[in-house]
Amino acid sequence: MIDVAIIGASGFTGAELLRLCASHPDLRVAVATADSQAGVAASAVYPSLAASYPDLVFAPTTDQTVAACAGTDLVFCALPHGASQAIMPVLASGSAVVVDLAADFRLSDPADYVTWYGAAHQVPELLDAFTYGLPETAGTALDGCRLVAAAGCYPTAATLALAPLLELGLVATDSLVVDAASGVSGAGRAAKDSTTFAAVDGNFTAYGLLDHRHTPEMEQSVARAAGVGRDVVSLLFTPHLAPMSRGILATCYARPAGAMPTTAELLDLYRQRYAGHPFVVVTDSAPSTKSTLGANTAHVTVVADERTGWVVALGAIDNLVKGASGQAVQCANLALGLGETTGLPSVGVYP
C-alpha cells in the first residue's frame, strides 16, 4: 500500500480526496491535517466519511506534521492559495510525490503572481520543478514525476474543450472568449456572504470581471496546446456562480484560423483526439454538469456556426472531482506508475 498524507483535509477538496482514497485499492490515508478543524473527527465534519474513516481525527498542520508528511509516499496539498508556498521547500526536499491542488505552482512566470494574486511568489525557484497536472494534455510528462501542480477547475474545463482546435491550429489564439459557470462549492468551505443559501438560491451572477485569477493559467494552457508563445494569446474569461453545489460548464468561443470547418468534421477530430483518454466523453449534444456529478469525467462538444463565423466548444466537469481532487489522484496515479484510472469513478451520479 502507498501511504498518503493530505494537508488541508478538512476543506471540500480535502474531503473529496478522502472519499476517493477510500475507494482506491493502492492508497491508504496515513495522516490528514487541518487548521481550524484540528483535533476534530473527520466523520464529525463530514458524516459521509464515517463508514470508511470511523477513527480518523484531523491532525494540526504544524512544522512537525509537515516534515512527517514529506516522508510518506504521496502528499496531497489541499490548502488555500499561498499556503503551499510556505511549506513546499520542506515537502520538495523529502521523498514523497507531491501533488498541489492550489494555484501556487501552476504558473511558470513568477511575475503573474504579483499581477493576478497580488503578492510575490515566496519560492519562485521551485516553479520550474513542477509539472502542470492536466493528464489529457501532458503527454508522458507526468509519468514518474515527483512534483505536480494539478490544473485548476475552470482551466481544466476550458482547455479540454478547446485543446483539439488549438493543437491543430484551427482557431486563432488572439480572440478567445470563455464564459463559465461554477457551483458554489468552488468558493470553498469557509462561510461567505455571497455563498449563503439566501444569496445563491434562485440567483445567477457573474463575478471576477476581467481579473479572475484563472485567466493567466488559461492563457498559459492555451499557449502550450497551440504551441505558441503566451504573448500571442488573448483570452477574455468571465466566470459565473450558478445555484448548484457542484459542476462547471465552460462555453468557449473561437474564430477559425482558416476556412470554417463543419460541425461533423470537428466532432470527428475531437473523437480522434480523445480516443484512449478514458475520462473525456465527446458528445453530439450540449454537455451538462449533472452528467459529470461525482465522476472524474469531462464531457465536451464543439459546433461550427457559419452564420456568425464562430466555433463554439463546450466542456462540463465536476469542479471537485475532475476540477480538483479527482484530477489530483489521476496525476498521482501516473506519477506513481499506477493505472491512470485506478480508484477513480467515470460514471456520474444521476439523478
% of the chain with per-residue pLDDT over 90: 98
Strand order across the beta sheet in which 310-317 lies: 205-206, 235-241, 176-182, 248-254, 310-317, 298-305, 280-282
Asked if residue 252 has pLDDT above 90, the reply is yes
- CATH number of the domain located at residue range(s) 154-319 in this protein: 3.30.360.10
H-only helix segments in the chain: 12-22, 42-45, 63-70, 83-92, 111-117, 135-138, 153-167, 197-200, 215-226, 263-274, 326-335
- By DSSP bridging, strand 205-206 and strand 235-241 are antiparallel
Instruction: Quick: pLDDT tens for 33-57.
Output: 999 899 999 999 999 999 999 999 9
For the beta carbon of residue 117, count every other beta carbon within 10 angstroms: 16
Mean pLDDT (the chain) is: 97
Q: Give the mean pLDDT of 294-308.
A: 98
Q: Is the peptide bond before 278 cis (omega within 30 degrees of 0)?
A: no
Instruction: Quick: pLDDT tens for 86-107.
Output: 999 999 999 999 999 999 999 9
Catalytic residues: 153
Asked if residue 190 has pLDDT above 90, the reply is no
The domain spans of the chain are 2-129, 154-319
Nearest to 300 by CA among 351, 252, 243, 337: 252
Asked if residue 328 has pLDDT above 90, the reply is yes
Asked if residue 191 has pLDDT above 90, the reply is no
Q: What residues pair up with 205 in beta bridges, in sequence order?
A: 241
CATH architecture of structural domain 2-129? 3-Layer(aba) Sandwich (3.40)
Instruction: Quick: pLDDT tens for 214-227.
Output: 999 999 999 999 99
Cα separation values, 5 from 82, 181, 280, 281, Å: 19, 31, 28, 31
Calpha distance 119→148 (Å, rounded):
22
Instruction: Quick: pLDDT tens for 10-34.
Output: 999 999 999 999 999 999 999 999 9
Over the Cα atoms of the chain, what is R_g?
Answer: 20
